[in-house]
Structure 1
Amino acid sequence: MKSIMGGRAGISLLVVLLMPAALLLMAAKAPSAKAQTEATISGTVTAGGNPVEEWRVIAYGADGSIKGSDRTNASGRYVIGGLEAA
């Protein structure tokens, strides 16, 4: 396939034509990330390497108030969600 302008002139014309499109794409602002407002903590409670079932795990705020809680399952796992992100 031959360029209308031939050789380097054809390449230069292509670069000149594509440059404005590239600049517009770079200038397009990416959507901003929303601030995370909720956090979740999770873990496993064990004693002697064995899971501890039916223990209450409590998340406290900096002011000492209870922010959330969960009971461990048969595997010792707990998940406390809906916490205020720091």
Structure 2
Amino acid sequence: MTWTGAFTMPPIIIGCDLSRAFLDLCVDAGPTTSQIRNTPAAVGKWADTIDPSTLVVFEATSGCDGAVMAALDTRRIAYARVNPR
């Protein structure tokens, strides 16, 4: 299938480095980062602050991404689960 439409980059991209305990977050490759606990409650609270047009990008890791995917899916926020290589 060939893509014939226009592609528009989202206005905000959040990079997310995952671990079982924490998420390290960086917005648009900015100079500052933040960290939240990797729990459903903490991730849900963070996801509530995300603009719906944002794209969240994180690595596909062994089971560390469940809370993130659930929170983003529930809020219909786009994400890309990418190969860490």
TM interval, shorter chain, is under 0.3
The TM-score with structure 2 as length reference comes to: 0.25
Rg larger for: 1
